[in-house]
Amino acid sequence: MGKLSTSLGATALTVALATSAAACSTEAATAPPPTPTSSASTASVTPTPTINATPSPPAMPAAAKANTAAGAKAFVVYYWQVVDYASTTLDTSLLEKLTSEACEACHRGIDGLKTNAKRGVTLRGGASSVQQQKVTLISNNGVQVAEDEFTLKNEDQIETLPNGNTKTYPAATVRDRMWLQWLDGRWTASQLEALK
């Protein structure tokens, strides 16, 4: 999950996961720390990130429902669309349905978004793009597993705190690996890590 680590924006998720969507790559070591600024100075110094345009939860495409390499690829792309949606709305319910309890990095990002919602933090921007995927299918004790190595690009993301101050998470590009499991007729994200 981008910057899924503490706040789960796509960009942050990229950084913790990879933290917030910037939010769903893996650890924050891959991106510079957020820079606190005032709201007024952010508008004049930081370019305004693209506002995530998804007002409602994205629908899973038919391709992402197939137990194939192409299906796994489509699921990973869809997963990051859901990370973007969760980052923008702070509604993690759909993201949680797509994520196994075993995915610790994913749940750090999800927990970060839940914390943001409780604190009244809002996130803007941070849209993610999955590129250069390489999927390998593996059978593990009768369970179909897909390993997807991919590049995750996130736009700038602005976090607005309840007091009006902002933090900017700069755009980031990371290489991640996600494992999926095919259980009960669908893919589930079971592990996520940043690659060097």
Bridge partners of 183, per DSSP, are 186
Of 11, 196, 188, 23, which is closest to residue 105 (Cα–Cα)? 23
- Place 86 in a pLDDT band, splitting at 50, 70 and 90: very high
- 114 or 16: which leads in pLDDT: 114
pLDDT of residue 24: 36
For the record, the structure tokens of 100 come out as 């196994």
For the record, the structure tokens of 116 come out as 């943001």
The full set of domains in the chain, from first to last, is: 9-32+56-195 (3.10.450.50)
Question: Dmax of the chain from CA atoms?
Answer: 56
- With a cut of 90, say whether residue 146 has pLDDT above it: yes
Distance CA 137, CA 142 (A): 12
Q: Report pTM.
A: 0.77
On whether the CB atoms of residues 126 and 156 are closer than 8 A, the answer is yes
